[in-house]
Chain A
Amino acid sequence: MAYEFKLPDIGEGIVEGEIVKWLVQEGDHVDEDQPIVEILTDKATVEIPSPLHGIITERNGQDGEIIEVGATLVVIEEDPGQDKNQLKSSHSSTRATLPDRKKKSTRESVLATPAVRRLANELGIDLSQIESSNADGRLTEEDLMRYQESGDLDPRQTDKFSHGITETTPYRGIRKKIGDHLSLSQQTAVHFTYVEEVDATELVLLRQQFLSSKGNEDNRLTYLPLLIKTVVQGLKEHPLMNSSLDEENGVIQLKNYYNIGIATHTSDGLMVNVIRDVDKKGVLEISKEITELTQATITGNTKLENLQDGTFTITSLGTLGGIAATPIINYPEVAVLAVHRISERPVVRDGQVVIRHMMNLSITSDHRVVDGTVAAQFIHHIIPLIEDPSWLKSELGN
């Protein structure tokens, strides 16, 4: 084996040395520690000994030439039986290479303190769209709040927005109420979202069996009432999920009643109807109540009491249900569950790829009250109840 012997740093920071005199010729046999060359550095003239027994097969540089530290001085064809792997430089360094930069900032230059930037980010406001009310051009929290509250009412901003916009819709009424409420939730609660998938095949079968059984041909049972009953099981096990935070009095209120909000899409926007005391109601009763409340909502006949006192909300986008979302908590509740589209997907069961009806669940919780782990535990409490829904059969009269 040929061993390349490189000129080491022989004097605390030496970068090069001058070859004063070679003490061996190419073809010579050298013993370990036998001097092979005399090197003159900035600090000293030293003899460099061979690290191995072997034959010099190559010699680099002539007397009087400069050789850099780290350059190969000689190549030694080593005698057999030597363990050259143990020869390691005392100056090895382990400098890491950074991975490629993933994200490049394209942020425009706007004058604002970090605190204002954070607020804008939380409110989803693009600072470059706001004009400063300050002489120095700096955006303040006040500018941000004014922008936030005024919507498009500020004439300066209307000008700015109107370029390239062909139609405007007023931001007011229910739309604005929804917006304000969501902003309040987003600003107050510390949102944390967790997504998990569940095998809903058995649930699908259960519903089909029910709908195809005698006397139920006209029933419009959806998955929602089944999921509401399931969720209540989880809430009973994890009472923090069914609570609210009373910051003023510094207490967390754990509720012993289960009023589940159902987010319903209307032409005016999202409304949350509340089904009261679902733990005391049967699946079919809940189903009927949902139908009635939804009808009332769509026809604009919703009563205020039907929109109040929720303790937990479920939002379902039905066939548009997507695969994951970051639902916003219906403040002052502390958690919201988004149920996504059930679709056939290939999954692995017992080492085989099979097709199952899969559904995703996205849960957002207020991290101030509910730790991520609790939210995850909650989900994992209801997953087996969905995957094996036989316990619901009695509810459906089977």
Chain B
Amino acid sequence: MPIMNIIQAVNSALRVEMEHDDSIVILGEDVAQFGGVFRATQGLLEEFGPSRVFDTPLSENGIVGSAIGMAMYGMRPIPEIQFVDFIYPAFDQIVNEAAKMRYRSGGQFTCPMVIRTPCGGGIKGGHYHSQSPESYFIHTAGLKVVMPSNPYDAKGLLIASIRDENPVIFLEPKKIYRAARGDVPEGEYTIELGKATKIREGKDVTIVTYGAAVHDVLEAADEAIDEDQIESTIIDLRTLSPYDIHSILDSVMTTGRVIIVHEAPKTCGFGAEISATLNEKALLYLKAPILRVTGFDTPFPYIFEQEYLPNTTRIRKALRDVMDF
């Protein structure tokens, strides 16, 4: 089985799907000849031609807005937004149009499409190349939101998203685009949307996380076993909306202690939602307050990137805090 990074896995998923479904088109800024600024669509123009892979004028609302029309017409557009930090001009088209088309038309019109976009910090990109705005989309009725943490999941989740009948926001953590490598099958396979994966099992604490933070959590959890004698269960959510509450609950009912780790700012971040839901569903199992290790409620700072992002030190501190409570 070939070893791929996330970029290659995304590219492979697009290629595999485009080969057997000619309704799929890729559009976005610099996606065709240039192959995308991160090279995720490299080689696809050559393989599928300009009617399947094409560059657009520089306008996010134009990209998503036309993709909606194309989806209504029966195609499967996969628009790329170059950085999620630039998605806001398309915000109305996503939340008011794509997300609501099925509901408001009584199911007569649908908008199956995958909006692919790199997200998150860690590349010294400052405020406009580092944001994690997933909560806006999780908060929006009518969307699915996905964020993989490794190449295998990236490919399986992307194929599942393309085949999904709903608009999907597919967030690709750019910090680990090339750093995360692993075995990825050449052919097609899917990972069911809405299902989390338990990547580590431990009796003391449940850590709920997703995206690039998964890697920091793994490191912190390993350190905590040796140095603090704390054993963690790590749940990688993979799909953020609708998220897999059952996997979280199963673990929390055993451990009784939870920390949630994400890059996005704390207030009204996804951790707040998970925490509130556990409060509703698993209160009697909780032995300590649920703690969040997240980005801060500031704009994304250029120079203090490492301090802003959840790191192993902050994660280990939280692990100790819930254990020693």
Residues of chain A whose beta carbon lies under 8 Å from any beta carbon of chain B: 113-118, 141
Show 18 A/B contacts (Cβ-Cβ < 8 Å), sorted by A: A113-B286, A113-B287, A113-B288, A113-B325, A114-B283, A114-B284, A114-B285, A114-B286, A115-B256, A115-B284, A115-B285, A115-B286, A115-B287, A116-B287, A117-B284, A118-B284, A118-B285, A141-B287
Chain B contact residues: over half helix, strand or loop, or mixed?
loop
**Chain A residues closer than 8 Å to B286, beta-carbon distance:** 113-115
In the A-B complex, the 10 residue pairs with the smallest Cβ-Cβ separation, listed nearest first, are A118-B284, A115-B287, A114-B283, A114-B284, A114-B286, A115-B256, A113-B287, A115-B286, A115-B285, A113-B286
- B contact residues, range: under 10
Shortest Cβ gap from B37 to chain A (Å): 45
Shortest Cβ gap from B290 to chain A (Å): 11
Shortest Cβ gap from B79 to chain A (Å): 35
Residues of chain B whose beta carbon lies under 8 Å from any beta carbon of chain A: 256, 283-288, 325
**Chain A residues closer than 8 Å to B284, beta-carbon distance:** 114-115, 117-118
Chain A minimum-CB-distance residue to B256: A115
How many angstroms from the CA of A114 to the CA of B290 in the assembled complex?
12
**Chain A residues closer than 8 Å to B256, beta-carbon distance:** 115
New A-B pairs, 5, CB < 8 Å, besides A114-B285, A118-B284: A113-B286, A113-B288, A114-B286, A115-B285, A117-B284
How many angstroms from the CA of A118 to the CA of B288 in the assembled complex?
13
Shortest Cβ gap from A363 to chain B (Å): 26
**Chain A residues closer than 8 Å to B287, beta-carbon distance:** 113, 115-116, 141
**Chain A residues closer than 8 Å to B285, beta-carbon distance:** 114-115, 118
Chain B minimum-CB-distance residue to A121: B284
How many angstroms from the CA of A117 to the CA of B283 in the assembled complex?
10
Shortest Cβ gap from B40 to chain A (Å): 45
How many angstroms from the CA of A115 to the CA of B286 in the assembled complex?
5
Chain B minimum-CB-distance residue to A117: B284
Chain A minimum-CB-distance residue to B287: A115
Name which of B283, B284, B286, B325 has the most chain A CB atoms within 10 A of its CB: B284
Chain B minimum-CB-distance residue to A122: B284
**Chain B residues closer than 8 Å to A114, beta-carbon distance:** 283-286
**Chain B residues closer than 8 Å to A116, beta-carbon distance:** 287
Shortest Cβ gap from A261 to chain B (Å): 32
Shortest Cβ gap from A258 to chain B (Å): 35
